Amino acid sequence: MLAMAASTALAACEAENIVEQTSAISTETYFAPTFAEPDKSKQLNGSPAENLKALFEATGPEIITSLGRINITDEQYQEIATFTTNLVKSKNSQTEKYRDIFRWIVSNVKYELSDNDPYAVFTNKKAVCEGYANLLTVMCHTQGIPAVLINGYLSTPSVWGGHAWAYACTDGVWEVSDPTNGGSFPMKNTGNYTHLIPSEADVDLFTDDCAIYRYYNYTLNVHKVTTNSNPLIVPYSVGGFVISSFNPAVDLPEEITEIYMGENITTFGETYNMSLTTRGTHLQAIYIDEANASLMDYKGVVYRKNGDEAQLYYIPGGMKFIELMPMEKVEKNTIYNHMAVEEICFPEGTKQIESYAIENCPKLKRVYIPTDAEIASNALYNCPKDVEIIRGVPSGIKNITL
């Protein structure tokens, strides 16, 4: 059992010696969750290039129906289309047209900081990597060649950094196209472009009754939830591949307040790109299958497993009552910018609540802490001045009245 979920702490949560308190919220019964069952779908456990290759081979070029997030007007698109059609007019196959487009961009666009929208690159002949890829993608589209923008990293003995390029499908064959550096490689030969490490593809790969899925942050990710069924049970797989990330780029439907995640979900994104902090502000609980090797939940709060310990990972933004697992030290910004929380309970086993542990929680009314816990004078920062600090009240508070 994980250190933070010690049996003594769990016993405290069920304590019968309850002190009557007036509360703004009431607790609810914790139901045994239902999760999507594992199946025989494929895990994406190869290199990033191999994983993206597997996904594109499984879906086909027909998934590319738009320019994605590329910014261009109809008039600008038409001007580029007219030019590109004239450029490749002597060529019959998509492959020949792609080669002409690629060569023109490599020969005419200079690497220089500039506006990277495709029309600006087309007219100014200046760009960095994203501008090169944007223009190539648009020019390919004007000729009916499916192409998609890719973001990731360039890794060579002398260079490491963020990079953008494109994948184009010509006459049914995928090509990995890096016009910034003049490199074009058949997708099937992943060993020839190991310096290109894709982390994101700007295209919807799969859809089902639950969501739209994309390759994002090296994973098959839930990009947009399309159902409003509550609770949301995240599928185990789609299109024959295991879904391993829940990091939506679009706001969750407001009707969804609870999510049940199986053993397949390993990440919501890391701190710098965990979109649930803004896309799911109304969520009240997330429950994780006990078979999950990476994540776990306690009373709807999610923790990341780390050996014999658990680290606080995500607190749903709509929770009014937050009950955390015990931690000896509650460090700075443990609960930060939480717009809904009214009560917080630190259970037995919590020894010290440090400065700024709870910050910018405008609706906070009460904080329950163990009798022997130390709390810094500024542990609550930018919270209401009349927050009650209640000592000696065990977690698992019951029979609370409004």
DSSP secondary structure letters along 292-351: -SSEEEETTEEEEEETTEEEEEE--TT-SEEEPPP-SEE-TTSEES-SS--EEE--TT--
Other CB atoms closer than 10 Å to residue 60's CB: what's the count?
Answer: 12
Helix/strand/coil for 102:
helix
CA 360 to chain centre: 24
DSSP 111-172: E-S---SHHHHHHH-EE-HHHHHHHHHHHHHHTT--EEEEEEEEE-SS-EEEEEEEEEEETT
Quick one: tokens of 148?
A: 């998609």
Q: Could you state, in chain order, the average pLDDT of each consecutive group of 10 residues for the chain (402 residues)?
A: 35 32 45 83 97 97 96 98 98 97 98 97 98 98 98 94 98 98 97 98 98 97 97 97 97 97 95 87 96 96 92 96 94 96 94 97 96 95 96 52 28
Which pLDDT does position 31 carry in this prediction?
A: 53
Kindly state the tokens that stand for 6: 């010690």
For the entire predicted model, the pTM comes to: 0.88
Q: Which residues contact residue 335 at a Cβ distance below 8 angstroms, ignoring those fewer than 6 apart?
A: 315, 322, 341, 344, 357, 358, 359, 361
Question: Would you say 82 and 96 are in contact if contact means Cβ atoms under 8 Å apart?
Answer: no
pLDDT of residue 21: 41
Question: What residues pair up with 83 in beta bridges, in sequence order?
Answer: none
Looking up tokens 């045994």 gives 32
Amino acid in position 83: F
| pLDDT attached to residue 39 | 96
Model pLDDT, residue 270: 82
